[in-house]
Structure 1
Amino acid sequence: MKGSTPAPGPRRALPAAAPDPTRGRWGSGLPRLVGVLVGALPVAALLGPWAGHGPVFAFRVLLIALVVLAVICGRRHRASLVIAGLAVLWLGVGGLDVVLGAAGRRWSELAAVALGLAGMWAVVRLRRFDPVTWLARGWTLAVLLSLPVAAWEYLTSRHLTTYLNGAWIGRPNVYRAPATWLTNPNLYAVLMAVAVPLLAVRSQWEGRWRRWIMIVAAAVACVLLVLTSGRSAMAALALAAAVRLAATGRGRWVLVAVAVAVVGIVTVHRSGLEMAVHRVVGVIVHHSNEGPSSLSVRAALIAVGLALTASYPLLGVGPGGYEALVRAGGLGWHTHGKVNPHFGVLEISSQYGLIVTTALAGLMVWAAVAVIRARGEGGSRWWVIGYLCALPVLSLANSTYLVQSVTQLQWVLAAALVCATATRVPSRYRRPPRRAC
Structure 2
Amino acid sequence: MSNNKKMGLTARIVVGMAAGILVGFLFKAILSGQDERELVFFGLSIPLKALFVDGVFHVGGEIFIASLKMLVVPLVFVSLVCGTCSLSDTSSLGRLGGKTIGLYLITTAVAISLAMTAALLIGPGKGVDMQSAARFDVSEAPSLAQVFINIFPSNPIASMAQGNMLQIIVFAVLFGLAMALSGKPGERLAAVFTDLSDVIMKLVTILMNLAPYGVFFLMAKLFTTLGFETIASLAKYFGVVLTVLIFHGLVSYSVILKLLTGLNPLIFLRKMRDAALFGFSTSSSNATMPVTMETVTKKLGVKNSVASFTVPLGATINMDGTAIMQGVATIFIAQVFLVDLTMGDYLMVILTATLASIGTAGVPGVGLIMLAMVLQQVGLPVEGIALIIGVDRLLDMTRTAVNVTGDAMVSCIVGKSEQQFDQAVFDDANAGVKDESVDFHHLR
Same fold (TM over 0.5): no
Q: Which has the higher helix share?
A: 2
Q: Per chain length, whose mean CA-contact separation is higher, i.e. which structure has more relative contact order (CA < 8 Å, sep 6+)?
A: 2
TM-score, scaled to structure 2: 0.26
User: Of the two, which has the highest radius of gyration?
Assistant: 1
